[in-house]
Amino acid sequence: MDASRTRRRLMLLLAAMVLAAGAAAAAAALAVNIMERKQEARNPFYRVVELTDMTEDPAIWGKNFPLQYDDYKRTVDMVHTKYGGSDGVPRAPTANDPREVTAQSRLEEDPRLKTFWAGYAFAVDFREERGHAYMLEDQTFTERQQVTKQPGTCMHCHASLYVPYKKLGEGDLIKGFEKMNQMPYAEARKLVEHPVACIDCHDPETMQLRVTRPGFLEGIRALKASQGVQNYDVNAQATRQEMRTYVCGQCHVEYYFKGPEKRLTYPWANGIKIENILTYYTENPHKDWTHAETGAPVLKAQHPEFEMYNQGIHARSGVACADCHMPYKREGALKISDHHVRSPLLNVNRACQTCHNWTEVELTQRVFTIQDRTFELRNRALDAVVALIGDMKAARAAGKTDADLKTAMELQRRAQFMVDFVEAENSMGFHAPEEAARILGIAMDLARQGQLAVRQADYTPNLFPSTTAPVKPTPREVTPPPGSAAGGSGGTGN
């Protein structure tokens, strides 16, 4: 009996020793792991190569930042969301266009756009957007290059340009920008090699975000001046959170080519709401082309995501572009921005649920509800503009002159630009739902006024109904129902 008890005690002691040793080993492993993670956090990257202000190739940056570079390379993905992105359409390569895959044609999906842009290159080739990896390739080989002489200015938003600008300007970014603007596209294309790259948004020494596009540097300075802030230097004065939007706003904006020198200009001197921009184009007379069917001097909106986003709830709440399109993620002990830039709908967990405590299904459905409603309004507004174009075309065939159609042409110019502002903005209204609905509602009104102007020579339009002084309602006498006190809760409602 005593021997059996002794044996049991020895076995318990041995088990306790083994458990203690295991616990000690686990604690030691945990301590080592914590130390390793802390070391990772203290050294977010290893300087494998030296980066300079002339290191253009993102693959070289990728040696120091392999996680970000791996994400960057994934922008070759082609995934179609309900109102954007691309499925990837196979095509037979040609001498002019060696691409074997491209995006689906928006003109084939909606032939009204051919009438909308009649006489302009977009009526020949307009396709769904693809990822950043394709931004230079798709600009180079679009059929628009075959029907018009595009300038080197187009490179501003389609290529990695910081180094080419510096080289062309002999160290002066602005001089290089000015020289490339005036080049033919084909000549400028020889000077660039990459789509948007690391150096376009990051300082190579500190990795701090920076704005490198001269168009934005000048545009944001003009915008701030209109708000009373003179000589604004975005790279010195913007907050880090603002920079997480401004680096995207370098390209995702409305712009035009100013003067014979084709200087890329953001029309922000009066502000960035659509009325401000239309006022700018009136004060600084500009047209993108003359509409082939109506003769109107019309405007083509580009991709005004920055302007539209700034009218929405996310901007007012301090949410940056990168918070949704490049959300933070964990890689070991590191917290990095996801450089696989894409639609938040493809990444709801990190893009949306960080702030919104709802299921992915609920959040996705909310987005679709906004986009469905915007798409319906877009269709109605597009129908109204196309109807106006048809009436003006018929009026010209009947002998009406520019003088007869002057008011109608101005209404077409404004209505068409407003519809295009939402059409070209790649969120189908989500960035600012109320603003998109407001713009499309005014566009419909202007287009219908245009139809009246075609029929009535002396028609006086109301160009911006939303900006006129509000009409004070006339007080009306309310008759209370029988048995109630006048003015009491039983009175009729409004």
Quote the pTM value: 0.85
Q: Which residues sit opposite 80 in a β-bridge?
A: 85
Residue 329 makes CB contacts below 8 A (sequence gap 6+) with: 335, 336, 337, 338, 350
In the block, which residue shows the tokens 């002066």?
172
Q: Is 335:455 a contact under the CB 8 Å cutoff?
A: no
Q: What is the 3-state secondary structure (H, E, C) of 343-365?
A: CHHHCHHHHCCCCCCCCHHHHHH
Could you identify the residue written with the tokens 């230097």? Answer: 233
Using the CB atoms, write b or e for 457-471: b if 16+ within 10 Å: eeeebebeeeeeeee
Q: Which CA distances in Å does 11 have to 4, 5, 8?
A: 11, 10, 5
Per-residue confidence in pLDDT tens, the chain, 494 aa: 567 777 777 777 787 788 888 888 877 777 766 665 555 555 556 789 999 999 999 999 999 999 999 999 999 999 989 999 888 899 999 988 999 999 999 999 999 999 999 999 999 999 999 999 999 999 999 999 988 989 999 999 999 999 999 999 999 999 999 999 999 999 999 999 999 999 999 999 999 999 999 999 999 999 999 999 999 999 999 999 999 999 999 999 999 999 999 999 999 999 999 999 999 999 999 999 999 999 999 999 999 999 999 999 999 999 999 999 999 999 988 899 999 999 999 999 999 999 999 999 999 999 999 999 999 999 999 999 999 999 999 999 999 999 999 999 999 999 999 999 999 999 999 999 999 999 999 999 999 999 999 999 899 998 865 444 444 444 333 333 333 333 333 333 33
Distance, CA of 494 to CA of 492 (rounded, Å): 7
Q: How many Å apart are CA 251 and CA 365, to the nearest integer?
A: 29
What pLDDT is stored for residue 474 in this prediction? 41
Alpha carbon dihedral 192, 193, 197, 202, in 10-degree steps, equals: -50
161 φ, ψ (degrees, to nearest 5): -120, -5
- DSSP helix/strand/coil, 298: strand
Dihedral sign from CA coordinates of 187, 193, 197, 202 = negative
